[in-house]
């Protein structure tokens, strides 16, 4: 029987009893005593069952449902059924959670659940090995008390979770860890910790190898270039040697440029982190680069320079000079006769500043743009060789910009020209007051 048919039955039974009691009252001239007594008995019956229900609920549904009749039998049976279903569902969920926890425990990466205040709520086995956090000892303790690295504290406070963090383990200095924090479920955070020691060591070996090879090649190359220059100037040599010696000299110079660029890249990699905080007068620097670019162009291009003297940069003069001149000289090399090159330094309208080099040169097809800053990536290898390019210039630019918290933007259309922009964030830009309005814009 369903609860709704039991309810109908109960109503019917109540109506029949009420009619019978009213009739009996009337026939026996007892109005309304029998009806009153019946109503009291009915209420008492329900109160008794409410008491039974309260007792059964207080036992947490562990006792068998009370044996009773009528609508209450149906109520108890339905409640019992719901209770049994809930118990089964809970058991199933507990098994799923257990299986999930076992899987998380088996992960080779550390997984730590943090609350909104950075307190540890849960962690897996690998976390203890990588970070020295133990369960249950360290549950509800702030994660920043185990990882005291300033980079980690800054990222946690600023909720800057986009970039993974690279730090050494507080447990064992030689372990290199990559930490990623993912916010989830409103205010919770999942912290994933990966051991990247092997990759880090391989990367270090690669850097050392390139730096050492470049360094070792430098001295013999200087000697070779020196002798070749002497041979080029030697008039006593037969004429047939002139061409091969000129070619050897050209290639040796190219090798020297490559070695110099590789050494510069190695130096940038060897000092990771932010560049120094010198005050760099970009306007003056850009004007000097424009003059050098005009010398390189030998009158083949019109080169304009618009630099706002109000803005200076916090950074490393040498690194910035190398990056900006690389972009400017590229523009000269990749723009045909009569082309226009425009060097600009101005506010970006968003609190930061932008240095851009715009040319009306050959342009670059869309699919090359993302790869331009890779080492030795050239759009046209043969032409780059011909122009004496090393293929490392934009890789250096990228490194320098990263060290200045800046980034490179490239817009280009084949056949129409390109714009290379270095974008600097507000905290790297200093706004200085120039009293004379006329002094502000230097147009070279």
Name the site residues for ligand ADP (rule: CB under 6 A): 326, 330-331, 334, 359, 361-362, 364, 372, 377-380, 384, 389-395, 418
Taking the least distance from each CB to ligand ADP, the nearer of 175 and 394 is 394
Paired strand residues for 378: none
> How many helices (H) and strands (E) in the chain?
12, 14
Least distance between ligand ADP and beta carbon 394 (Å): 3
Taking the least distance from each CB to ligand ADP, the nearer of 311 and 329 is 329
To 10 degrees, the CA torsion angle through 347, 353, 359, 364? Answer: -130
DSSP string, 101-129: HHHHHH-SSEEEEE-TTSBEEEE-HHHHH
Cα 35 from chain centroid? 79
Taking the least distance from each CB to ligand ADP, the nearer of 398 and 404 is 398
DSSP string, 5-47: HHHHHHHHHHHHHHHHHHHHHHHTT-TTHHHHHHHHHHHHHHH
Taking the least distance from each CB to ligand ADP, the nearer of 77 and 260 is 260
Residue 336's φ and ψ, nearest 5 degrees, are -75, 175
The conformation of residue 142, written as its DSSP 8-state character, comes to B
Residues in contact with 389: Cβ distance below 8 Å, sequence separation at least 6, in sequence order: 333, 378
Taking the least distance from each CB to ligand ADP, the nearer of 334 and 404 is 334
Least distance between ligand ADP and beta carbon 329 (Å): 8
Least distance between ligand ADP and beta carbon 202 (Å): 25
Three-state DSSP class for residue 149: coil
Least distance between ligand ADP and beta carbon 351 (Å): 28
Taking the least distance from each CB to ligand ADP, the nearer of 156 and 406 is 406
CA distance 361 to 258: 25
Least distance between ligand ADP and beta carbon 390 (Å): 5
Taking the least distance from each CB to ligand ADP, the nearer of 87 and 413 is 413
Q: Kindly give the interhelix angle for 70-106 and 3-27, rounded to the nearest 10 degrees.
A: 160
Least distance between ligand ADP and beta carbon 254 (Å): 10
**Neighbour-count burial of 138, counting CB atoms closer than 10 A to its CB (0-12 exposed, 13-18 middle, 19+ buried):** buried
CA distances from 24 to 15, 27, 34, 37, 44 (A): 14, 5, 7, 12, 21
Residues in contact with 364: Cβ distance below 8 Å, sequence separation at least 6, in sequence order: 372, 379, 410, 412, 414, 418
Least distance between ligand ADP and beta carbon 425 (Å): 24
Taking the least distance from each CB to ligand ADP, the nearer of 127 and 266 is 266
Least distance between ligand ADP and beta carbon 381 (Å): 8
């Amino acid at each position: 029987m369903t609860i709704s048919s039991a309810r109908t039955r109960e109503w019917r039974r109540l109506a029949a009893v009420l009619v019978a009691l009213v009739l009996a009252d009337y026939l026996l001239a007892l109005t309304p005593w029998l009806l009153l007594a019946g109503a009291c008995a009915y209420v008492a019956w329900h109160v008794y069952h409410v008491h039974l229900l309260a007792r059964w609920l207080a036992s947490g549904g562990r006792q068998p449902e009370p044996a009773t009749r009528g609508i209450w039998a149906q109520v108890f049976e339905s409640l019992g059924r719901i209770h049994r279903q809930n118990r089964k569902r809970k058991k199933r969920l507990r098994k799923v959670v257990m299986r999930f926890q076992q899987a998380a425990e088996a992960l080779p990466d550390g997984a730590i659940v943090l609350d909104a205040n950075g307190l540890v709520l849960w962690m897996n086995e690998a976390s203890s090995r990588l970070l020295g956090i133990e369960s249950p000892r360290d549950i509800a303790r702030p994660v920043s008390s185990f990882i005291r690295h300033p980079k980690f504290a800054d990222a946690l406070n600023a909720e800057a979770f986009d970039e993974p963090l690279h730090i050494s383990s507080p447990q064992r200095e030689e372990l290199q860890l990559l930490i990623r924090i993912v916010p989830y479920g409103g205010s919770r955070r999942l912290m994933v910790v990966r051991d990247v020691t092997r990759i880090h060591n391989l990367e270090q070996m690669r850097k050392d190898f390139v730096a050492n090879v470049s360094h070792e090649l430098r001295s013999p190359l200087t000697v070779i270039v020196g002798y070749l220059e002497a041979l080029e100037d030697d008039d006593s040599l037969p004429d047939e040697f002139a061409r091969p010696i000129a070619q050897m000299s050209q290639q040796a110079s190219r090798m020297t440029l490559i070695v110099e660029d590789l050494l510069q890249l190695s130096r940038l990699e060897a000092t990771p982190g932010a560049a120094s905080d010198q005050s760099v007068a970009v306007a003056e620097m850009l004007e000097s680069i424009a003059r050098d670019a005009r010398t390189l162009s030998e009158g083949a291009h019109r080169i304009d320079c618009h630099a706002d003297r109000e803005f200076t940069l916090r950074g490393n003069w040498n690194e910035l000079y190398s990056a900006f001149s690389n972009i400017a000289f590229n523009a000269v090399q990749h723009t045909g006769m009569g082309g226009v090159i425009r060097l600009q330094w101005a506010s970006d309208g968003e609190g930061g500043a932008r240095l851009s080099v715009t040319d009306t040169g050959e342009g670059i097809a869309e699919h090359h743009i993302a790869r331009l800053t890779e080492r030795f990536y050239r759009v046209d290898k043969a032409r780059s060789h011909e122009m004496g390019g090393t293929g490392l210039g934009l890789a250096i630019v990228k490194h320098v910009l990263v060290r200045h918290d800046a980034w490179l933007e490239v817009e280009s259309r084949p056949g129409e020209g390109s714009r290379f922009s270095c974008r600097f964030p507000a905290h790297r830009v200093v706004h200085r007051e120039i009293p004379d309005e006329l002094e502000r814009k230097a147009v070279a």
